[in-house]
């Protein structure tokens, strides 16, 4: 993995499904736009690449493939995402905010029975984010949020898998020193207040 040496900054939101990372990514985008920053808000998996289209079918339980093949598809999609969207924007001095990145592969891939070190290895040639926010929300709270929205559960949105994924997520700050664990069970505004404080300090806003 290599550090970002471009003018722009790369910020990633991570957490279990239902942890609120998409909401917080949107709020940060709006805040930084108010500060007259140039922003790209993006998401993994993408919907543009061929790998991303297959991933979507698997997550929606319309296609069944092995756990290993799924993670290889995530890696392929991520490579295109970096080359086509993230790195060009960073070179232009923009702030890129991504809703999920390879940390999701580590957590959910390991929860699906794959070796964590193998998952890290297949993502080892990719860019490290400048800031990673890991939203801490208990698996049971995430399930309640998902069910409360009335949405059909996707492949990983089951309590046992979420519990296993969280066990991996909670170990990641030991390996990535730019990862900030934020209590995601507070109100949306309180969560964002903590995120905003960190971003202002890191970006000198």
Residue 13: is its pLDDT beyond 60? yes
Q: Do 86 and 127 form a contact (C-beta atoms < 8 A)? A: yes
Q: Do 105 and 168 form a contact (C-beta atoms < 8 A)? A: no
Q: Reduced to 3 states, what is the DSSP secondary structure of residue 31? A: helix
C-alpha distance from residue 159 to each of 48, 58, 182 (Å): 29, 18, 21
The per-residue pLDDT for range 27-57, each reduced to its tens digit, is 999 999 999 999 999 999 999 899 999 999 9
Report the candidate in 75, 76, 97 with the shortest Cα–Cα distance to residue 86. Answer: 97
Q: What is the DSSP letter of 16?
A: S
pTM: 0.92
The per-residue pLDDT for range 77-123, each reduced to its tens digit, is 999 999 999 999 999 999 999 999 999 999 999 999 999 999 999 99
Dist. CA 78–CA 176, nearest whole Å: 19
Q: Reduced to 3 states, what is the DSSP secondary structure of residue 142? A: helix
Domains of the chain: 10-203 (3.40.50.300)
């Amino acid at each position: 993995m290599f550090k970002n040496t471009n003018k722009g900054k790369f910020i990633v939101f991570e957490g279990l499904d239902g942890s609120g990372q998409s909401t917080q990514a949107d709020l940060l985008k709006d805040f930084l736009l108010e500060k007259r920053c140039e922003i790209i808000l993006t998401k993994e998996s993408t919907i543009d690449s061929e790998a991303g289209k297959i991933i979507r079918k698997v997550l929606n339980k319309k296609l069944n493939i092995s756990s290993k093949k799924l993670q290889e598809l995530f890696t392929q999609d991520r490579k295109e995402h970096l080359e086509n969207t993230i790195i060009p924007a960073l070179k232009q001095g923009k702030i890129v905010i991504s809703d999920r990145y390879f940390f999701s592969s580590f957590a959910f891939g390991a929860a699906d029975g794959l070796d964590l070190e193998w998952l890290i290895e297949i993502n080892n040639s990719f860019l490290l984010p400048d800031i990673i926010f890991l939203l801490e929300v208990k698996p049971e709270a995430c399930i309640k949020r998902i069910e409360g929205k009335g949405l059909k559960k996707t492949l990983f949105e089951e309590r046992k898998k979420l519990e296993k994924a969280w066990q991996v997520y909670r170990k990641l700050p030991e390996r990535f020193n730019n990862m900030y664990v934020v209590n995601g069970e507070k109100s949306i505004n309180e969560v964002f207040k903590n995120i905003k404080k960190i971003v202002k300090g890191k970006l000198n806003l």
